[in-house]
Amino acid sequence: MFLKQKFLGLLLSLSLSVASGQSHEIGIFFGGSNFIGDVGNTQYVAPNSGSIGLFYRGLLFRQIHIRAGINTSQLNGYDTESNLYRRKNRGFSIENNIIESYLGLEMDFLDFELKPLELGWTTYMFLGLSYLQYQKGNFNNNNTFVNYGKDNTFALPFGIGLKMKISEKIMLGIEVLPRYTFSNSIDGSTDTTFSFGNKHNNDWFVFTGGTINYIINPCLCKTKKLQWN
């Protein structure tokens, strides 16, 4: 609980630190998630559960934004959908509800500004830090994942996307953002009474979907361009 409060406090303070910046946006993420661990499919982008989130984006430099948000989803893993024979034969499955808070930097690859009368698009890259709450559990004799509490961990979100300004106030986007977690127990594989799988590989999950955001105050003046040399 202490780590959660500290992380949320950091997220809020850094978001407020750009309150006097050139542009502010609020948006919704909608799409799917897929889990990558010791249970289920091993494909990296294969959404099998819905996800939704809210985010804030504020301009720091002309091509650099700070982004903070909250996502929720159910991470599903089914051995029957795996391309590995030993997993299909084992037949484990998990359904783990998560809530994630994240903070990071979003870098536009193109010189893309949010001036009121200008439309445009750009690809971008995201890198940050997230705090994750998930359900702790293990498997019973019937190969059923049983939740018995909650646990928390940090994760490293990163990925790429494309966004397009379609009107003065509205922007649309698509993105693929994997998460590398600092836990190997989201799928119950490291439970103290029963463990399986690769103990040296932590769990991953991926958010894939679209965004729609509202530009609160379009950029009305020139912003400082980030110098790379």
pLDDT tens, residue by residue, 5-22: 555 555 555 545 444 556
State pTM to two decimals: 0.84
For residue 33, is it within any domain? Answer: yes
**Residue 152 maps to a domain:** yes
Provide the pLDDT for residue 225: 53
Q: How far apart are CA 190 and CA 193, in angstroms?
A: 8
Split at pLDDT 50, 70, 90, the class of 198 is confident
69 occurs within a structural domain: yes
For residues 177-216, one letter each, b for 16 or more C-beta atoms within 10 angstroms of the residue's C-beta and e for the rest, the string is bbbebebbbbbbbbeeeeeebeeeebbbbbbbbebebebe
Cα angle, residue 41 at apex, residues 38 and 46 outer, rounded to 5°: 130
Q: Residue 78 is part of which domain span?
A: 2-215
Query: How many domains is the chain built from?
Result: 1
Given this model, what pLDDT does residue 55 score? Answer: 98
In a domain, 181, yes or no: yes
If you ran DSSP here, which 8-state letter would residue 226 be given? P
Do the domain assignments include residue 226? no
Within a domain: 41: yes
In a domain, 224, yes or no: no
Query: What CATH number is given to the structural domain containing 75?
Result: 2.40.160.20
Given its phi and psi angles, is residue 184 left (phi above 0), alpha (psi -120 to 50 degrees) or beta? alpha
How confident is the model over 154-174, as pLDDT tens digits? 999 999 999 999 988 899 999
> Tell me, what's the pLDDT at 228?
44
Q: What is the mean pLDDT of the chain?
A: 85
The answer to whether 24 and 219 are in contact (CB under 8 A) is no
- Domain assignment present for residue 183? The answer is yes
